[in-house]
Chain A
Amino acid sequence: MPGKLFKSAAIVGAAEADEIGFLKQPKTSLQLHIEAISNVCEQTGIPISAIEGVFSTGWSSEICEHLDLKPKYIDTTAVGGCSFEMHVHHAMAAIHSGIIDIALVTHGENGFSANKIGGRGAGNYSTGGPSSPSLEMTKAYGLGGAPSNYAHAMVRHMHRYGTTREDYAHIAKVTRDWATLNPRAAMYSKEKHPFGGPITVEQVEDSRLIAWPLTILHCCMVADHGGAVIVASPKVAARLKTKPVWIAGAGESMGHSNMLEMDDFTATSAARSAEAAYTMAGMGPADMEMALLYDSFTITAAITAEMLGLAPKGEGHMLWKDGRAAPGGSFPINTNGGGLSFNHSGMYGMPLLIEAYRQLSGTAEDGINGDKGKQTSAKTCIVNGTGGTLSTTGTLVLVADD
């Protein structure tokens, strides 16, 4: 008997770049990608704008940005030459599950031309120049770490909505309050870290400037973290001793790769990824009882709350300012202490998942040192990860087992 995915998707077109082989005029990997994409779309009659999922080794986000695509499915599996067969497999699964109907699998690699112009490989965009026109046009301007970029979003949000830096400082203060209930949090207490323990809004405001308007307490830490989760079928879940937390909805999207291409500095693709997740779940913002929001910076959390429909535009910070997000509040947010005060190693998506599992499985009470702990009574949780420079988003709607 055939498997469940039998004939659930098909390859409907295939094309190459305009020129292949030992090119006299060297071309970049990106050029080879774009030519091939353009050709396969012409062959099939599918407009580039109709592509819903992009599968490539490495920087799918840069390819999407070049084409101004806002995909619903992004895959960058890069495990060697067989990656593209795997991309087809992943695309088939995405199509079978109803997330997308049209997937692009794309390759561009200037193995020969790279001898003259560099930039071999599909993901080697780090050098700028021939391989990345976006980096070519931005690398002269002194932007370095994440704060240097994110500060621009805060300034635009303040301009558009009349918010103030002090509004966002409440996010840092409340998130620290959660950390003081979590012995695992790096900033749990003064004993654990010299700058740990409770903080005030004034302290957030008066801390060292990193990239105005961001002071250091508006920024997440960079620490060490490792984590893992297991996703399984209902059949497997039924025979395990651990409680399941169900994935009711999931969605993903992106706005840009380089912040230069961020259309609206007060909005992220979380609006789209959340819409997909809510639709899959048959639920909406009003059904959510708590949230775990990637808080690389206070502004990230505020904008995300707005994008997820948890607060009106321009009022995301109010969830923290009026205490709803705080311990004991009606809508707990970032109950582990967040990237701001719990842990952030560079990529914070995994800690979001772990805390969501703990909260919804009733195991969030750390219960050491006699603390009252951080366990809430929430049965539903929206989780949103943000990557890059407010670039990419993944949203999950999770629900507790009844």
Chain B
Amino acid sequence: MAYDKPIPSQGIHTQPFWAGTKEGKLMLPRCEDCNRVHWYPRLICPHCHSKNLEWIEGSGEGRIHTYAVQHLAFGPWQKETPYVTAYIDLNEGDRMLTVLKGVDPLKPEEIKIGAKVKVEFEEANEDTFIPFWRVIEE
């Protein structure tokens, strides 16, 4: 079935990220001066304000920072309720938002903050592969 949920419109300086997703890579922006990874991608390092930024291939692994179960949603997400949204602490540092796979939305107490997750990519259209995260181990 065709992907029918909201698809992000892509930016200019974020192109290396979207290119990576097509190859199953999680590309992350890193500052060449302070060596810290940040997310979302900036035009300037939010930590030291250097403009020397590079892209690195991330491990695609992280842990759940916090989560919630959406019972009320809008648009195409309505038919998916209930589903679990989560913020993921990346192994490389900083955080991503996701809809979490591999969990039971009706048993929210069983989802563990700190659980290991791995990224996977879903094809939304030929230009857009959206990263989602799946629990791989508690």
Contact = CB atoms under 8 A, between A and B. Distances in A.
Chains A and B bind each other: yes
Interface stretch (A129-137, A244-252, A373-381): A129-137
Contacts of B75: 144
Contact of A136 (B9, B43, B67, B82): B9
Interface string B26-68: 0000000000000111111011010100000000000001111
Main secondary structure of the interface of B (DSSP, over half): loop
A137 B96 contact: yes
B95 to A, nearest CB: 7
Interface string A148-185: 10011111100100000000000000000000000000
Contacts of B83: 142
B102 interface: no
14 contacts: A66-B44, A136-B9, A138-B40, A139-B6, A140-B5, A141-B98, A142-B73, A143-B70, A143-B97, A144-B70, A148-B68, A211-B68, A212-B68, A265-B65
Contacts of B66: 152-153, 155-156, 159, 265
Given A140-B7, A141-B99, A148-B72, A133 B85 contact: no
B73 A212 contact: no
Nearest to B84: A212
A259 B67 CA distance: 12
B113 A155 contact: yes
Contact of B130 (A140, A143, A214): A140
A26 B13 CA distance: 12
A48 B86 CA distance: 32
Most buried by B among A27, A117, A134, A155: A155
A174 B80 CA distance: 35
B10 A66 contact: no
6 tightest CB-CB pairs across the interface, nearest first? A129-B9, A151-B68, A212-B69, A68-B46, A156-B66, A142-B77
A134 B73 contact: no
Residue among B10, B40, B67, B83 with max Cβ neighbours from chain A (10 Å): B40
Contacts, number: 149
Nearest to A153: B66
Interface stretch (A28-36, A80-88, A93-101): A28-36
A68 B39 CA distance: 12
Given A117-B12, A141-B85, A213-B108, A260 B40 contact: yes
A67 B97 contact: no
Contacts of B85: 141-143, 148, 152
B49 A47 contact: yes
B71 A212 contact: yes
A50 to B, nearest CB: 11
B72 A134 contact: no
Interface in B1-34: 5-14
Given A28-B12, A142-B99, 10 more contacts: A133-B13, A135-B8, A137-B39, A142-B77, A144-B77, A145-B74, A155-B68, A155-B113, A156-B66, A211-B70
A38 interface: yes
Nearest to A33: B43
Contacts of B108: 212-213
Contacts of A133: 11, 13-14, 40-42
Interface residues of B, number: 47
A128 interface: yes
A129 B73 contact: no
Nearest to B113: A159
Given A141-B97, A152-B67, A211-B69, A129 B11 contact: yes
Contacts of B8: 128-129, 135-137, 139-140
A266 to B, nearest CB: 9
Contacts of A49: 49
Contact of A68 (B41, B47, B97): B47
Nearest to A144: B74
Nearest to A131: B11
A31 B12 CA distance: 10
A209 B66 CA distance: 18
Interface in B77-95: 77, 80, 82-83, 85-87, 95
Contacts of A28: 11-12
A390 B98 CA distance: 19
A265 B87 CA distance: 10
A147 B113 CA distance: 20
A346 to B, nearest CB: 16
Given A66-B43, A142-B99, A212-B82, A148 B10 contact: no
